Structure 1
């Protein structure tokens, strides 16, 4: 576990002009509608007014940001442009000529950095899976081979591959890997020393996903943007780039696969979403960095469900009306007590310390996290258990408490209990939005291990325990 160092000063909701009752109402809304949140941080006037983590998630834990990563790739592109190494009008085919497929049409040859940043290449849907199917070892070439039904610049389609191509362009012109560039120019000057990245099997980072940061680091990033790229007395991101990247460049359409959300229809910038108030970086399963300059407000959220329907709309309905209408010191105390008690429930049942069991995984269960036939063994130890998954993977699980282990480099936090002849354990892949529920029927000798939400990269739990995770989305 990384050490936690405060990046932002602390205050109270009342001193920051934030209503504790409004934050409480926001928590009530999320709880009532079963929105799975892992952390929340509200920053007003540069001070953290409220913060909370649902245990076993904690302040010092980096959390996978999924597509919120894109906003950091945008910053990297802005740095390259400010350094004179890249321009918005540079063409993909000129910067990455060895990735150009034979017979590429004129539209593919016209595509520029601007089109990648704004996701206006002419694709009408996400091209990632098709691009990798066409070219499993060359995403840039695969992206250029996917047909472009619309003229470039005329249509926005949320397209992960565009940001993957952009990452390779930034790395080409700077001669630096994306992590190294952002460490030197952004993270380390801010005091962030724990940025982690998932990677492709080649070792390169995705660019469109895969960055892990703490909640406070995400909030601090929002604060840098709010201040026009300034952190302390340093201009880390050019102000002109912040203004350009967080301005609307193209209209957006309702995603037919998602329930209607008005904030999905407010336009897209350069790897930032516009919002009804301010703008935001956003990642799958509820990762958010919301910046509202008009209210000097930043809200960072990590989550593990699908709060698309609730966020950021709940902020506008419940949090904004409580700004500049702070309550009493007692209201702040009540909220602080509530935020300090946030937790996922521990599995209920007995420890049964003399009992062990062995079973084989039935992978026919939907969202299975382990291959069919994997042997699972439950061994009692020190008021908890060792869980053996297969011949060599051993995890620790507590009874009545969370226990941590890192058998392959990435931490897992787990707890379990016996309920009659059934052993149940929750395994949190704690630096991600995902967890696994293990249910072992000792009498039948059968177990299932299922994801709460299936990771977008691979469903194999064993790969998610490796650091760094090196994979790519599966291609049918």
Structure 2
């Protein structure tokens, strides 16, 4: 008997309420609507870029398995190429990791322009209630500028100490750390320093970082729906945690390319743009010699200098806002890669030489358009069905005691789709997926194992995801769950043997680093067999 979608959901015990709580089945949910204001579009050749060079870039990053999620190239203020690797899509936000830092720096620039502070102000002056009993000379000397250029004088990143503070007072924890070097003289990439910039914005303006930026940056650029992770006291993390869309990244880069002007209005002083994007201090990073290394070109106010006269904001696993002033070009990229330098190498190898001084008379390449509209990340490989599917479909397995507190698991299959239900100490969690295709929706499953830092967006209880699955062999069903407003995904492998189930989790961060996921494999037995004493 063939069940329709509603009957299938009722059979699984979801009822009418459940229809709105889980992923669509079998159709997909649309991404959030695009903003009313978008950058103008143009053909690459009309703006002096060869389609062939752009196509070569896309082919190269795919061949190198650099796992891009999105790409947007802007020349002379017009988008000439854009693409999203499904299930990523234009209307989805994407976590920026440390690309967030460049936005935080911009907030400081705006506050300086409004004379709410200066870069020479001492950090301790903003937080007299949180300074240690004894203030060292180095701590006393630390300026806002030292926070901006990652030269606070610390010998190690302070972020871990902030997050582990028992009182959840990150400002006090930062000020309590030893400052081993004279501020302004020693470069150390330090996300805690950027957090302090966020705390300073909140202190001097009375507004949270996101609220301060909304009328000054996000609204003028047409950036809607941005959100930012916070510390336990509600202060934006600053150094990470911002989510915006790919085009928002491109707009931000275009604002800097235009020296702070936007639609005839000045949003940032030109002098600030100059200071923020020039080398203020010698940076460190990468394993190559300086002439081949985009981490040794110098650091500005939360921006990295690049080779070829460019500069960038960047975030972990390949979140990029690359600005090429000489070429009047911006490149926005989101990804999950273990080799960030490799993405930049391909930009310099293919995109940069494709840029010409004037318009190109050659016809645009149909191949580029076809490629950009058919981008997709790989689906789980395998067969659409197996004899095991009918045997286990909808039947619960009782899971042995485990640190994840998962007590019961079931998989239900119908019409090229599945629903995976996990029950733990917090209740039931359902994930609906397609077989041979993505199904999009929301989940309340915890995403902590997939994140670098255990901070969250205030009041966010669900995460957007896309799920797919396939039978790797007759007894193994492999699901890929992509958390599509983050950079990450995980594989969930279900191995059925008789009345037994083994469940294994592989998070993408472990796959990237070729390490073992720290979550244990779960073992379960068919509930009917348990009740019969088997």
Kept in 2, the 8 Å contact 1:362–1:447? The answer is no
1:163 and 2:199 correspond = no
Shift of 1:124: 3.1
Shift of 1:199: 2.6
Kept in 2, the 8 Å contact 1:359–1:447? The answer is no
Q: Which runs of 5+ in 1 are unaligned?
A: 365-369, 462-476
Q: Secondary structure at the match of 1:194?
A: coil
Q: Which whole-Å CA distance do the structure 1 matches of 2:288 and 2:408 have between them? A: 37
Equivalence for 1:350: 384
Of 389, 414, 417, the match for 1:384? 417
Equivalence for 1:434: 488
1:338 and 2:394 correspond = no
Shift of 1:149: 2.3
Shift of 1:202: 3.0
Q: Secondary structure at the match of 2:509?
A: coil
Q: Secondary structure at the match of 2:238?
A: coil
1:453 and 2:509 correspond = yes
CA RMSD for the aligned pairs? 2.6
1:421 and 2:475 correspond = yes
Equivalence for 1:98: 129
Once the two structures are overlaid, the 10-residue window that deviates more, 113-122 or 234-243, is 234-243
Q: Which whole-Å CA distance do the structure 1 matches of 2:187 and 2:504 have between them? A: 41
Kept in 2, the 8 Å contact 1:116–1:162? The answer is yes
Output aligned runs, 1:263-412, within 5 Å: 263-276=294-307, 277-324=309-356, 331-347=364-380, 348-351=382-385, 354=390, 355-356=392-393, 358=396, 371=404, 373=406, 375-390=408-423, 391-408=427-444, 409-412=462-465
Q: Which whole-Å CA distance do the structure 1 matches of 2:399 and 2:373 have between them? A: 37
Shift of 1:311: 2.9
Q: Secondary structure at the match of 1:378?
A: strand
Once the two structures are overlaid, the 10-residue window that deviates more, 333-342 or 233-242, is 233-242
Shift of 1:381: 4.0
Residues 393, 203 of structure 1: alpha-carbon distance in 2 compared, 3 angstrom cutoff:
farther
Q: Which runs of 5+ in 2 are unaligned?
A: 1-30, 445-461, 520-534
Q: Which whole-Å CA distance do the structure 1 matches of 2:291 and 2:485 have between them? A: 30
Shift of 1:447: 0.5
Shift of 1:29: 2.2
Once the two structures are overlaid, the 10-residue window that deviates more, 95-104 or 170-179, is 95-104
Output aligned runs, 1:60-209, within 5 Å: 60-133=91-164, 137-209=168-240
Output aligned runs, 1:28-67, within 5 Å: 28-67=59-98
Shift of 1:127: 2.0
Kept in 2, the 8 Å contact 1:427–1:435? The answer is yes
1:2 and 2:38 correspond = no
Kept in 2, the 8 Å contact 1:261–1:309? The answer is no
Q: Which whole-Å CA distance do the structure 1 matches of 2:400 and 2:506 have between them? A: 10
Q: Secondary structure at the match of 2:343?
A: coil
Q: Secondary structure at the match of 1:122?
A: coil
Count, aligned residues: 453
Equivalence for 2:16: none
Of 276, 284, 292, the match for 1:253? 284
Q: Which whole-Å CA distance do the structure 2 matches of 1:246 and 1:436 have between them? A: 36
Kept in 1, the 8 Å contact 2:99–2:313? The answer is yes
Shift of 1:257: 12
Q: Which whole-Å CA distance do the structure 2 matches of 1:114 and 1:171 have between them? A: 17
User: Which structure: larger Rg?
Assistant: 2
Shift of 1:358: 4.8
Q: Secondary structure at the match of 2:47?
A: coil
Residues 132, 61 of structure 1: alpha-carbon distance in 2 compared, 3 angstrom cutoff:
closer
Shift of 1:260: 10
Once the two structures are overlaid, the 10-residue window that deviates more, 223-232 or 124-133, is 124-133
Residues 337, 84 of structure 1: alpha-carbon distance in 2 compared, 3 angstrom cutoff:
same
* Structure 1 segments of 4+ aligned residues over 6 angstroms from their partners: 256-260, 325-328, 360-364
Kept in 2, the 8 Å contact 1:119–1:158? The answer is yes
Q: Which whole-Å CA distance do the structure 1 matches of 2:372 and 2:397 have between them? A: 39
Q: Secondary structure at the match of 1:411?
A: strand
Residues 15, 260 of structure 1: alpha-carbon distance in 2 compared, 3 angstrom cutoff:
closer
Q: Secondary structure at the match of 1:319?
A: helix
Deviations 1:297-337, CA, capped at 9 Å, x for gaps:
10000001223231322212221111118777655211010
Shift of 1:163: 0.3
Q: Which whole-Å CA distance do the structure 1 matches of 2:228 and 2:397 have between them? A: 34
Deviations 1:261-298, CA, capped at 9 Å, x for gaps:
61100100001111112210000010000001110010
